[in-house]
Amino acid sequence: MLKGINPLIGPDLLRALAAMGHGDELVIADRNFPSHRVGTRVVELRGHDAPTVAAAILELLPLDRAVEQPVLRMGTADGDTPPVHAEVIAVATPELADGQSVGEVERFAFYERAAGAYLVVVTGEDRPYGDFILCKGVL
């Protein structure tokens, strides 16, 4: 346990976040995401939902200011914005710079992009499409 660090962030996740470089991407995945097939580095936080995990990570992880959309969400089949997306967008929006927004990536393109991510964090999120990508910036 360390002072000032959310207890949800265990040593494996803390080490992985610290090792990421600027421009590296991190996937926050729901419980149905093929995390171990897609990712080479996987940290499991199955006892927590995606918005809770996103909030804890964003306490430590600076978002990339050099890209227009440093937060991406998996697109839904019907093009709507499910509650899990709205909740993560609400958590991420205060971390965005002026002119930045949360983007959307079509489901199968999301899987391809996720395969290149530095890290996949598996949550216990049970709502469909509870999958997001964060791009790390610099301090």
- Residue 48 is a catalytic residue: no
> Is the pLDDT reported for residue 139 higher than 90?
no
CA 63 to chain centre: 11
Q: Which of 22, 36, 48, 85 is catalytic?
A: 22
Report pLDDT for 2. 80
What is the maximum alpha-carbon separation in the chain? 43
**Strands, sheet with 132-135, edge to edge from the N-terminal-most edge strand:** 42-45, 119-123, 25-29, 132-135, 71-74, 102-105
Q: Under a CB-based contact definition with an 8 Å cutoff, are residues 133 and 74 in contact?
A: no
Distance of CA 58 to the CA centre of its chain: 9
pLDDT tens figures, 63-112:
999 999 999 999 999 999 999 999 999 999 999 999 999 999 999 999 99
For the cut 80, the answer to whether the pLDDT of residue 27 exceeds it is: yes
CATH 3.40.1650.10 fits 23-129, yes or no: yes
Mean pLDDT of 114-132: 98
Q: Can you give the pTM of this predicted structure?
A: 0.96
Tokens standing for 8?
Answer: 């949800």
Is the pLDDT at 1 greater than 80? The verdict is no
